[in-house]
Each structure stands twice: as C-alpha cells, then as structure tokens.
C-alpha cells in the first residue's frame, strides 16, 4: 500500500526539482530540518519508487530533434510485451504508453525533420505485430511535462 506524500516530502522534492545538484546538508539547511531527516526522507522516497534519480533536463530541439510526433498503434492481441520491446530499440521512441480507447499503444517520438520522421515511422510500422498506426505532429508544447502543481498542492497541506 502506498502512502501519500506529506508537506515536507513535497517541499524537499520541489527543492530538488529546482536545484537537483543540492547536497543533503544544503537541503536540510533550506528546509530547516536535520540532515538525517532529509537523508531518511530521500531514502524512503527512493524505496517507494517516487524518486527515481536526478537526470538532467534536456532540450531535444537544441540537440537537433526539433520535431515531436505522437502515434496511436493498434497491435496484435497478446503481443504488447514483444512490440514494446521492439519499440524500445528505436532510439527516437521516447515514450510508450499502453492505453484504452482508439489504440493499444500511444507513442511519443522525435525526429530531426519530416524526412527523418518518415524513417522513424517506417521503423515503427516495421515492428512485427504492429497492425495500424495513426501519427500526428506536435506543433508546440504549451504545457510541458510537469509535476510541480501536484507537489505545490501537497506542500501547502
């Protein structure tokens, strides 16, 4: 059974979201708690799977992947594990979600441009047991991936 975050957990995660390179001692100082408290909270958040690490935030467009696309995939029944394994081998596939509704899998992918996107789509369509795809190109990202509002609400209590 998972327990909810408390306000201190949320404040700690907000602090690390804003400054992921802060050490435990500096986090304790800024939060007004003991170093051991911060370390115990980090350990517990990691054990519970809430805190998975501190990867850098990368701008894919600045790296040359300025085109983002989403695809709904219909796949052969019972073949999700095999299809997702094959999709994970395509470097430009950034996320795959198993879904309900119009498709079986929802895929976020990136490309360097339209010609490159065609190559990526061809790779996706070439995965065995992918029956049909429907792809859309993202024109902009007005709300990027985020968790801050949830953390802020929890931090307020």
pLDDT in tens, 92-141: 999 999 999 889 999 999 999 999 999 999 999 999 999 999 999 999 99
Here the tokens at position 74 are 């219909």
Same structural domain, 45 and 69: no
Total domain count, the chain: 2
Number of residues written out for the chain? 157
Q: Are residues 86 and 124 in the same domain?
A: yes
Asked if residue 65 belongs to a domain, the reply is yes
The CA distance from 25 to 37, in Å, is: 10
Q: Are residues 67 and 134 in the same domain?
A: yes
Q: What percent of the chain has pLDDT over 70?
A: 98
Residue 62 has pLDDT above 70, yes or no: yes
> pTM for the complete prediction?
0.82
């Amino acid at each position: 059974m998972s327990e909810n975050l408390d306000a201190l957990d949320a404040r700690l995660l907000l602090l690390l979201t804003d400054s992921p390179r802060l050490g435990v001692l500096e986090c304790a100082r800024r939060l007004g708690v003991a170093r051991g408290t911060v370390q115990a909270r980090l350990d517990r958040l990691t054990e519970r799977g809430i805190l998975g690490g501190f990867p850098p935030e990368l701008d894919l467009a600045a790296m040359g992947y300025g085109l983002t696309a989403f695809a709904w995939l219909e796949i052969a029944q019972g073949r999700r594990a095999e299809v997702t394994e094959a999709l994970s081998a395509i470097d430009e596939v950034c996320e795959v979600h198993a879904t309900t509704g119009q498709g079986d899998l929802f895929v976020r992918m990136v490309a360097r441009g339209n010609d490159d996107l065609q190559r990526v789509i061809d790779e996706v369509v070439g995965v065995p047991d992918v029956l049909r795809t429907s792809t859309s190109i993202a024109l902009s990202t007005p709300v990027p991936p985020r968790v801050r509002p949830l953390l802020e609400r929890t931090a307020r209590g």
